[in-house]
Each structure stands twice: as structure tokens, then as C-alpha cells.
Structure 1
Amino acid sequence: MRLTQITHHDLDGYGASTVAAACAEVDRVIHVPRYSDVGPVFEEEVKRLAKAQASETLLMTDLGLEEQTIAGLKRFAAMNKKRESEKHRLVVLDHHASSSEQLARQGLEPAPVAERPGLSRSDFGDPAITLLIEEDSCATAMTMTHRALFATHEPERQEDLAALIAAIDALDLWRKENAAFPGGIALDEIFWENATGLIPPGHPWHDRFVSALLLAAGQRLREGATPAQLEQDAVAIRTRIVNDLLADAPDDDANLTTRSRLARALARSDTLFRPLKDGTLLSFGLDSGMFQRVSDRIMEAGRTKRVVNVQRMGTLSFRSVDGTALDGARLFRGGGHRDAAGGRLQSGSAFSLADAIAQVEPVLNPEKPAGSDSPFAALKNWKG
């Protein structure tokens, strides 16, 4: 059964995806930074699942459930009820007090689970839907504890996973008295320094890279590494992972920095960049430094003359080799140099690659009215 995971874009969210990947083959992971974006992202998945013939499992972890998301949960239940074939499965593992409050407002107040103190469950009237909230546990630990809901096998490296989970749990719940807390602080710093700036979400290597980094850090914590030692080891750990990823790369140069080495591989990707109607290649959420390096290599290779990167907060960065970056930026209330310019989306934000394309395409390439290319079109409005 195909498994898709939607999870938070922080250490606990990635810890949950690392555990899930150790227990099952995860087809796709969607990382969501803002709880306000969970609703639209979830809505896209519900629409996709409504058209899917085969039964799938959707796993949601570490996502605060706001009103729009809860409305999506109800739509999922209604969609599942209409299916004549096998039902889709939905597993929601959360630990936010605000989620319990929002569910109660929507008439779905979680009820305590007798056999496990601190755990509560919301009932959607569909046995294929499981929603659990456990406020005294991080989402990474919940994913491990409740893995039977989605797992296909027992995870390997359980001791390393246990050390990783202990560190994330202590940090995420801010248990300063816990012996694992200092390691959690170091782990969090390493995570943010490496998670999104090198291999961006959406690339096939992204979750593989981050999970390998977290598991290696968990191993060092299990072996007794201090926070300072873990920080010192992080670069070597990252280099080993990148060496493995680039083992078969035809143009790798180990003398370059990690970012420059990875930029060569990312520039070949067909998943990070989508062509617009005018040939501009659009990416979503790339680190600004990585975008600069990757876009340069893409244009050097002749794949396009203009590239644009859209950030979640609505800023756009254009790069070009033909002086058109500034032209693009001006359409989005921006400015800059002819080959390097920036602007901002009218809506102020974007929640996915598809959303970014939907907002940028009609501005860069507006549809012409039918017949507007005709030499007689102007005569229709002539009042002479």
C-alpha cells in the first residue's frame, strides 16, 4: 500500500519522517513549515486520493490541527465513505494542546485511551481513520510507539533510533532537566545548519540525506559523544553522506565545497524546476545561496535563459543570461539588476510548488484574448 507522509518542517517533524522511513517504504514526504499551510496541502492530497483507484495510507505527524485542517479531515472521512473499493487509511499523530482545543470546538473532542495514560483519540466514525494526540510525547516518539498503524517491518538500528528519539523528545518538550537535553540542543543546531540549505525539499535525495544525518548523530549520542564532539563530527558525517550520494555522479569534484558539489547534481534535476510557458524554469523554496549556484549551472548548460525561485513567504528571485530577470521582477512589484532581480507575489505567500506556479504563470505569461492576434482585432473597438 502506497504511503505518503505530511510532517512538520522542524527537527521533530524530520525525526518523525526518519522513524517512518525506518519502518516502511515511504513513497513521498511533504514537509510543511507553517500550520496555516497544512490545510491547503492536505486538501490537495484529499483531492488526489479521491481519484486514486488503489487504497493508500496518509500519515500526518507533528502538525498543529487548525480549523481548515480539521475541515479537511471531515472531507477525507466523507470521501472515504463514498468509495466503493478499498478505503484509504489516515493516521494522524500529534502532540499539540491547541489541536485538542480545535478538535473540541469542531465537536471532535479527543477521548482518553484507557490503556495508555496521556493518550487521547478522536472518532470520525471510520475505522480507517486514526487520530491520536499525546501531549507529553514528541511526534518522533509517537511515530515509533504507534508504528503498527503504518509499518511493514521492524526498524533496523533501533539503539541509534532510541538515542535520537530521546534527544528530540527532551528538546521538543523543553525538558531541561533531562540528561538527553544538551544532546538535543546540539542535534537541533546541526539539523538547521544542514537540513534545507544543501538538498532542498522536493528533491529525491532530501529526506534520505537528512535522515542519514540524524541517524548518524543518534549513533554518536548513543556512543556518548558530548554536544561539542557531535558538533565537531557533524562536518565529517555530512561529507560521508554526500560522498555516498555522489558516488556515481559524472561531474563530481571532491575538491569543491559541499554546496558547490551538490549544486552540480541539483542542476540536473527534473523535479526541482518546472518549465513555464515561456521557457522560464521555476523552483520553490530553494535556499538563496544554493539557488544562485544551481541557476548559474542550469543556464550555463543551456537549459534555459531565465530561472525564478519562489519562497514560501512570497519573495521571488529571478536570474537570467539575456537581461530579462529585471523584466520578470517588474511584473511582481520588484527591481534589481538586469540579470539578477527580485519581486513579491501579490498574495504574499505560497504553500507549494503547484501554488507558486499557479501564481507566477499567469503574470509572466498572461493568456491572450481569443482573436487578439488578428490584424482586424483592433477594429472591433475602433470608434472613429
Structure 2
Amino acid sequence: MTLTQITHHDLDGYGASTVVACLCDPERVVHVPRYGDVGPVVEAELKRLGRARARETLLLTDLGLEEPTIAFLRRFAAMNRRREPGDGHGLVVLDHHASSVEQLGRQGFAPQPDPDRPGLLRFGVDDPAVTVLIDEGSSATRMALTHRALFATRPEPDRAEDLAVLVEAVDAVDLWRKHDPRFPSGQALDEAFWDNVATLVPAGHPAHDGVVSRLLLDAAAALRAGATPADLERRVPEIRGAIVDDLMRQAPGDDPALTTRLRVARLLARSDALFHPLPDGTLLSFGLDPGTFQRVSDLIMAEGRAARVVNVQRTGTLSFRSNDGTALAGARLFRGGGHQDAAGGKLPSGTAFSLADAVAQVEPVLAPPRPAAEDSPFAALRNWKG
């Protein structure tokens, strides 16, 4: 069965996606940094699933449930009632935030304690295909492993021993168990995660989740072999280099003499997944780290793929780069300024939550559709026979 995972953009969220990837083969993984963006993201999934003929499973991990997301739970169940019996999509929610319990209570959902697992709460949504579990005493990473029967397609996880170390370390640091002996290891993992999650292979690229999961598992393997947090800090560049060596092995134009990030930039510059072409030829990306955007945009323009590139951040800021003097002209359309080939602006709405959302906001301003010939005020003159 097709599985899509939506998870938080932090160590625990990626820990949960790493667990899932060790137990099955998800079709897609969507990472959401802000709980306020969860509502629009799940609504987009609801529309997609409403059109899907085959049954799918949607897995939500480590996402604080706010009012729009809770409304989505009811709408998901309503969608399933419109489908054929037994053909409803599956929905699994694994969360551990106290605020989620409070929000569900405000929306009329009563918790049902699990007799076999103290601290675990179940919330019914009047749909047997929907499972909502909240456990304040467990990280989402541990919950994904504990409740793997809800989605797993493999009887045993890949790299089980390394995964067990990862789960313990993430559990300690995410629940802030400072006296747990694994807490320092969790902190070291957290540092390695944040140093690489956005600046190596960005979210949205097909290799992103595999790269981050391997980084976490290889780091966990080092911890399992006895590495201290200081040892791990020194090992991470070596781990990252090995991952990039494998990633770039078949990539054309690779230069092993360059730094890891400069090597990867050549791969990213050719990515159709990261860059959406606008009608005027501008390439638009979403949420790229500023350093990554600079490296990649330079390569895109040097290779002639586009003369102008724009990156939209979740906060609504836009960064334009060009090699034909048009960056400033683009930024001015978004209340911005700067240099002819390097400028910035701000979205009218203030924020964006996905690449599709960024395109929907930028395209009408930057590359508005031209009127058809018959709509032109000169069409009548051109067609007049006299």
C-alpha cells in the first residue's frame, strides 16, 4: 500500500521518518517546520486522496495538533464515508505533545487510556481506518518503532541495532531527560542533524530523506561502537563525505577535489524537483538555505539553465539572483530592492508553506499571463476588413 508520511522538521521528526524508512518504503515524506503550516499541508493531502482510486495510508508523526489539523481528522473520516465500504484511506497519527491532548479535548474528543500502555491515549474519530495515538512519555521516534504494526511492511527493521541506539538517543534529548546517560549522545546527534539537514541535500530533492536518515544511522552506529559526543563531532565530516561519495558516484561532472557541499551543488543545480520554471524562464525554489541557494543559483546560470533564479523562504522573503541584470526588476515587484543581479523582496501574504504555495503567489506577479490576441484592444482593428 502507498504510504505518505508528514512529519516535523526537527531531530525527532526525522528520527520518526528514519524509523519508518527502515520498516517500509514510503512513497513521499513531507517535513513541516511550523505547526501552523500543518493545516494547509494536510488539506492538500485530503484533496489529493479524495481523487485517489487506490487505498493509501497517511502517517502523521511529531506534529502538534492545532485546530485546523483536528478539523482535518473529521473531514478525513467524512471523505472515507463517501468511499466504498472497506476502501477508505488509512490515517495514523503518532504524537506526544501535551498541547495536542488539550486541543483535542476542546474540540470534543475524549481520550481513551490504553490498558496495556500506561500514558498512551487513544482518540476515536468514528472511523476504524483512523488511529490517533498520543503518548507524552515517548518521543515520536520511539512511537514509530513501538507502533510499527500500524504501517510496517517488513517484519524486522533494517539496521536494527543502529536504529535502537538512534531511538534511545532521540528519546532522551527530545524529552529533555538531562540525567539520562544517553542525553549527551542525543545532543551530539541533534548538532549533527542541524548542521546538515538544510545545507547538504535540501528537502524536496529525491535524495534528501535517504541522506539524512543515513547520516543519523551512521552517527548512531558510531555511538554504538563507543564514540563519545566529542568523537562523533569529529566523525561527522567523514560520515558526510562517505555519503556524498556514494551519492555522486554516478553523477556527471563530479569533482572529488571540491568540498562536499560544492560537489552536491552540481547535482542540485540539475534538479527538476527543487526548481519550478515560471513562464518567463525564471526558476523558483522554496526554502533553500541561503548558502545552498547562492552556490546552486551560480551554477544554474553558469550552465545556461536560466538567467534568473528566485528562492522563497517560509517567512515570505524572496532572494533573486540573475546574470542579465533582471534580479532587481523582479525584487521591485515584491516591495524589494538591492543590486542589479542580487536583490530581495517580500511576499504580499507574508509567508509560504510549500513550493506550490510559493509558485501560486509569485507567478501571477512575476510572470502574469498575457491576454489572448482576441482580447487585445487592437484585435478589432486587425480583424477589420474595411
TM class by shorter chain equals: over 0.9
1:163-242 equivalences in 2 (<5 Å): 163-242=165-244
Whole-angstrom distance in 2 between the partners of 1:377 and 1:146? 68
Residue 132 of structure 1 aligns with which residue? 133
Q: Is the 8 A contact 1:95 1:137 kept in 2?
A: yes
Range moving further from structure 2, 230-239 or 153-162: 153-162
Q: Secondary structure at the match of 1:184?
A: helix
Q: Is the 8 A contact 1:101 1:109 kept in 2?
A: no
1:323 partner letter: G
1:337-356 equivalences in 2 (<5 Å): 337-356=339-358
Residue 61 of structure 1 aligns with which residue? 61
Q: Aligned-pair distance for 1:368?
A: 4.7
Residue 105 of structure 1 aligns with which residue? 106
The alignment status of 1:293 with 2:281, answered yes or no, reads no
Q: Is the 8 A contact 1:16 1:141 kept in 2?
A: yes
Whole-angstrom distance in 2 between the partners of 1:349 and 1:235? 34
Whole-angstrom distance in 2 between the partners of 1:80 and 1:110? 22
Q: Aligned-pair distance for 1:251?
A: 0.7
1:133-152 equivalences in 2 (<5 Å): 133-152=134-153
Q: Aligned-pair distance for 1:51?
A: 0.1
Measured against aligned partners, the alpha-carbon deviations of 1:100-153 in whole angstroms (never above 9, x if no partner) come to 000011111321111111101010111110000000000000000000000000
Aligned residue among 278, 281, 288 for 2:280:
278
Which consecutive residues of structure 2, in runs of 5 or more, have no partner in the other structure?
382-386
Q: Is the 8 A contact 1:2 1:57 kept in 2?
A: yes
Distance 1:321 1:377, change over 3 A: farther
Whole-angstrom distance in 2 between the partners of 1:258 and 1:252? 10
Residue 50 of structure 1 aligns with which residue? 50
The alignment status of 1:375 with 2:373, answered yes or no, reads no
For the aligned residue pairs, the C-alpha RMSD in angstroms reads 1.3
Q: Aligned-pair distance for 1:256?
A: 0.4
Task: Indicate the percent of aligned positions where both proteins have the same amino acid.
Answer: 67
1:259 partner letter: R
Length, aligned pairs only: 378
Q: Secondary structure at the match of 1:7?
A: strand
Whole-angstrom distance in 2 between the partners of 1:367 and 1:268? 27
1:321 partner letter: N
Aligned residue among 361, 364, 372 for 1:362:
364
Residue 31 of structure 1 aligns with which residue? 31
Residue 73 of structure 2 aligns with which residue? 73
Q: Secondary structure at the match of 2:186?
A: helix
Residue 91 of structure 1 aligns with which residue? 92
2:376 partner letter: D
Q: Aligned-pair distance for 1:250?
A: 1.5
Residue 381 of structure 1 aligns with which residue? none
Q: Is the 8 A contact 1:95 1:133 kept in 2?
A: yes
2:293 partner letter: F
Q: Is the 8 A contact 1:11 1:168 kept in 2?
A: yes
Whole-angstrom distance in 1 between the partners of 2:116 and 2:82? 33
Range moving further from structure 2, 151-160 or 55-64: 151-160
Range moving further from structure 2, 360-369 or 282-291: 360-369
Distance 1:259 1:124, change over 3 A: same
Whole-angstrom distance in 1 between the partners of 2:260 and 2:158? 28
Q: Aligned-pair distance for 1:257?
A: 0.8
Q: Aligned-pair distance for 1:369?
A: 5.5
Aligned residue among 225, 233, 251 for 1:249:
251
The alignment status of 1:162 with 2:164, answered yes or no, reads yes
Q: Is the 8 A contact 1:100 1:109 kept in 2?
A: no
Q: Secondary structure at the match of 2:349?
A: coil
Q: Aligned-pair distance for 1:207?
A: 0.3
Q: Aligned-pair distance for 1:300?
A: 1.4
Q: Secondary structure at the match of 1:120?
A: strand
TM-score (norm 1): 0.96
Q: Aligned-pair distance for 1:259?
A: 1.1
Measured against aligned partners, the alpha-carbon deviations of 1:209-240 in whole angstroms (never above 9, x if no partner) come to 00000000111111121000000000000000
Q: Is the 8 A contact 1:161 1:215 kept in 2?
A: yes
Distance 1:377 1:118, change over 3 A: farther
Whole-angstrom distance in 2 between the partners of 1:136 and 1:187? 20
Residue 384 of structure 2 aligns with which residue? none
Q: Aligned-pair distance for 1:157?
A: 1.6
Q: Aligned-pair distance for 1:183?
A: 0.4
Q: Secondary structure at the match of 2:117?
A: coil
Q: Secondary structure at the match of 1:133?
A: strand
Q: Aligned-pair distance for 1:365?
A: 2.0
Q: Aligned-pair distance for 1:255?
A: 0.7
Q: Aligned-pair distance for 1:360?
A: 0.3
Whole-angstrom distance in 2 between the partners of 1:218 and 1:110? 35
The alignment status of 1:19 with 2:19, answered yes or no, reads yes
2:223 partner letter: L
Whole-angstrom distance in 1 between the partners of 2:303 and 2:380? 41
Whole-angstrom distance in 2 between the partners of 1:51 and 1:376? 41
TM-score (norm 2): 0.96
